[in-house]
Amino acid sequence: MNFLLRLTAVAVVLVVPPFAPAQSTADGMSMTGIFSQGGASLDFAMKRTGDARIEAPAKSTPVTKELEGRWEGTLNAGGKSLRLILNMANQSDGAAAGSIVSVDQHGVEIPVTTITQNGASLKLDVKSIGASYTGELKEGALAGEWTQGPATLPLRFKRPEIREKNSVF
């Protein structure tokens, strides 16, 4: 997915597939355009309601060596099984960083916003998709729950098994 936002004195062009270019009013207070996906197109309109409010995410805690590295799990959602790869590592500033790769959704890599470890408990905030994970390290696996929107589903991560070269999951 590509994002491009060009600001000019009288127009904003938003090129984000599946959007067509959007036009803003001269005062910059509203924007209109066409959203197209799957052969269907819908007009859209957005109105500015105030100044942007951006909160910096909380700083991640470091994670122990037991949690660093690659983990694999399968999320069963709506009759679909989605294979996930969780990667976590401590950075030079001492804070952990991580990402989740959704293998069955074209291998998209989603950054984890905040990682918090407290003893055996782990919490991941994934703000870009409105999701979170809470789990506990038990017997070498992370047993917990994935929450996204109104849904909360069980999700267990384990260390990957040794497999042949070039195997994804």
| 74 and 42 assigned to the same domain | no
Q: Which pLDDT belongs to residue 12?
A: 40
pLDDT (average), residues 110-123: 97
d(CA 158, CA 143): 9
For residues 117 and 154, membership in a common domain is answered with yes
Query: Helix, strand, coil % (nearest 5) of the chain?
Result: 0, 55, 45
Question: Residue 136 is inside which H or E element, if any?
Answer: strand 131-138
pLDDT confidence bin for 35, thresholds 50/70/90: confident
Domain that holds residue 150: 69-158
**Does residue 41 sit in the same domain as residue 73?**
no
Q: Is residue 20 part of a domain?
A: yes
In the predicted structure, residue 13 carries a pLDDT above the cut 50: no
Confirm whether pTM is higher than 0.75. no
Q: What is the dihedral of CA 101, 102, 107, 111, to 10 degrees?
A: -40
Domain count, the chain: 2
Assess whether 109 and 33 both reside in one domain: no
Which residue has 């996930």 as its token pair?
Answer: 84
The answer to whether residue 93 scores a pLDDT higher than 70 is yes
